Amino acid sequence: MRFLQPLESADRLEPDAVRDLRRFVAPTAVFLVGQILINNGDVLIVKAEFPRDAAGVYSAVALMGRAVFFLSWSAVATLFPAVARREATGSNTDELLVGGLAVVGVACGGMVAASALFGNLFFRSILGPEYEAAASMLVSYATATSLFAVANLVVTHQLSLGRTIQSRLLVIGAVGQTVLVVLARSSLPAVVNVQVLAMTALAAVVLGSVLLETRMTSATR
């Protein structure tokens, strides 16, 4: 009957819709797993391995350090749909990535500078003198988070183009950071320093993979 025709058309389109959904959902889920592990794994390890007072100090540092990441999230949230729209029309999206990196760089740089200048004052006046020692770790933690914010933005850009290798690289980086934190659990500064190392490597590898993909694509044209 005629009134059943739209339903039949929808049924014919359903396999394509499911295929497209799987193509985007799976790498995005991998990406989110990496995010969760990087953002929370260190706190859980410190809570399990260090005395309560030390874990409390570290949690305060992590709370402030994560503010750097979430400050950059507005750029990430804006980038994904903007890149997808341009990609659908066949337009180049490189300038959106460069603009996003500039915004994240300025925001994160400002937060790292604020941590260096006012971190000690913040911990002493807001959380109390017992947390004052945390200020010495805040700049390094904010630096690690800034590097993660850069990698996160690049991975988001690539995912919006349907490219998934960077999301897998992020998960590998998350696992690597977790292993380093476990190995460096002798002191809180060591835990923070290995995260700077891990996020430096992650940002470099993610950016390098994008440059390599771009070069290979240009060479085949």
Taking only the tens of pLDDT, the chain with its 221 residues reads 444 444 444 445 455 555 555 666 777 888 889 999 999 999 999 999 999 988 988 998 998 888 888 877 777 777 767 777 777 777 777 888 888 898 889 889 998 998 888 888 888 887 777 777 788 899 999 999 999 999 999 998 888 888 889 999 999 999 999 999 999 988 999 999 999 999 999 999 999 999 888 787 666 65
Residue 170 confidence (pLDDT): 94
Quote the CA–CA distance of 98 and 172 in Å, as a whole number. 24
Residue 208 confidence (pLDDT): 93
Asked whether the beta carbons of 212 and 166 are under 8 A apart, the reply is no
Phi-psi sector, 64: left (phi>0), alpha (psi -120 to 50), beta: alpha
Measured from the Cβ of residue 60, the count of other Cβ atoms closer than 10 Å reads 22
Residue 175 confidence (pLDDT): 95
Asked whether the beta carbons of 166 and 159 are under 8 A apart, the reply is yes
Quote the CA–CA distance of 221 and 218 in Å, as a whole number. 5
Q: What is the dihedral of CA 94, 99, 104, 110, to 10 degrees?
A: 150
Quote the CA–CA distance of 145 and 207 in Å, as a whole number. 16
Residue 90 confidence (pLDDT): 73
Angle made by CA atoms 75, 90, 12, in degrees to the nearest 5: 100
Residue 2 confidence (pLDDT): 45
Quote the CA–CA distance of 27 and 122 in Å, as a whole number. 39
The helix (run of H) or strand (run of E) holding residue 185 is: none
Closest among 69, 38, 62, 66 to 174, alpha carbons compared:
38
Q: What is the dihedral of CA 205, 208, 210, 214, to 10 degrees?
A: -160
b vs e for 148-157, b when ≥16 Cβ sit within 10 Å of the residue's Cβ? Answer: bbbbbbbbbb
The helix (run of H) or strand (run of E) holding residue 60 is: helix 52-71
Residue 125 confidence (pLDDT): 82
Amino acid identity of residue 190, one-letter, is A
